[in-house]
């Protein structure tokens, strides 16, 4: 991994069109500004990890009676 | 295609009913091919069976059933991956987790599955919208969506995709 040291307001450039700037550093938190074209998705790593975890949880479910459970939803609809 | 799984027994899946996720799901890159199976009876929940790993089946729901309205934002990259044109028909589902008490079931509205229906091509996308949650309580959301917009009674997209899957 490439490790660079930057001060506040200094940036790094990735490729031709992604610029990451250190906006602020306070205690153990770093605030980053990201300039990237709209087509480049930028996400916090946590959200990937959380979705990954939730996908695995969703994959590990046992047999469920969807007919019965669906009734919970339709009952609520009928209450309207 | 013939499959067998403990859950569903012997299945014959028609090739044209297989939805391909070229990148798999997030964190599950080996699960690339799926088929939607309807359960017996009516209702908004359906199975998303992994063709590659037939012992794995996800439960899916159309999020508009409990939210009334659900808007997916796609990046340019997502649109390219899904090969979407302006008028391509899409289907959107969220993965459901049903805990011991089914009343507490949740859907992941932060990471919906988007399907290009004519191409049977799928991709899981990440939504930054803070209104959406990894564990979105379905019944609670449905209760508070009441009155805003009528929840749909069924899930026509899943039905359409599932119909004659077997």
Q: Note whether A80 contacts B: Cβ–Cβ < 8 A.
A: yes
Q: Please provide the average confidence, as pLDDT, over all residues in chain B.
A: 88
> So what's the ipTM on this one?
0.85
pLDDT, tens digit, 9 for 90 and up, residues B11-42: 899 999 999 999 999 999 999 999 999 876 67
**Chain-chain contact of B43 with A67 (C-beta, under 8 angstroms):** yes
- For residue B46, CA distances in Å to A1, A52, B41, B79, B162 come to 43, 21, 10, 25, 9
Q: Look at residue B149 and tell me whether its pLDDT is greater than 60.
A: no
Q: Look at residue B146 and tell me whether its pLDDT is greater than 80.
A: no
Q: Note whether B34 contacts A: Cβ–Cβ < 8 A.
A: no
Stated pTM of the model = 0.82
Q: Which range has the worst mean pLDDT, A40-49, B21-30, B52-61, B84-93? A: A40-49
Contact indicator for B34, B43 with CB cutoff of 8 Å:
no
Best residue in A17, A39, A55, A71 to probe B by mutation, most B CBs within 10 Å?
A55
Q: Look at residue B49 and tell me whether its pLDDT is greater than 50.
A: yes
């Amino acid at each position: 991994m490439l490790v660079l040291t930057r001060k506040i307001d200094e940036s790094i450039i990735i490729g031709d069109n992604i610029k990451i700037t250190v906006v602020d550093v306070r205690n153990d938190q770093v605030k980053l500004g990201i300039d990237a074209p709209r087509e480049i998705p930028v996400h916090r790593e946590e959200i990937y990890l959380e979705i990954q975890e939730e996908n695995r949880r969703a994959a590990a479910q046992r047999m469920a009676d969807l007919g019965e459970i669906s009734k919970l939803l339709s009952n609520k609809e009928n209450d309207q | 295609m013939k499959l067998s799984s403990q859950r569903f027994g012997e299945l014959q899946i028609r090739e044209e009913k297989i939805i391909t996720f070229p990148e798999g799901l997030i964190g599950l890159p080996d699960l690339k091919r799926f088929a939607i199976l309807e359960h017996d009876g009516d209702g908004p929940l359906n199975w998303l069976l992994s063709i590659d790993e037939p012992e794995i089946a996800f439960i899916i729901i159309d999020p508009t059933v409990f939210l009334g309205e659900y808007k997916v934002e796609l990046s340019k990259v997502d649109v390219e991956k899904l090969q979407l044109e302006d008028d391509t028909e899409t289907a959107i589902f969220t993965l459901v987790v049903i805990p011991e008490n089914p009343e507490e079931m949740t859907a992941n509205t932060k990471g919906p599955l988007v399907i290009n229906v004519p191409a049977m091509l799928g991709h899981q996308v990440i939504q930054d919208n803070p209104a959406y949650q990894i564990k979105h309580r379905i019944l609670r959301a449905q209760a508070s969506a009441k009155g805003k917009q009528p929840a749909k009674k069924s899930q026509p997209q899943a039905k359409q995709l599932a119909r004659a899957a077997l």
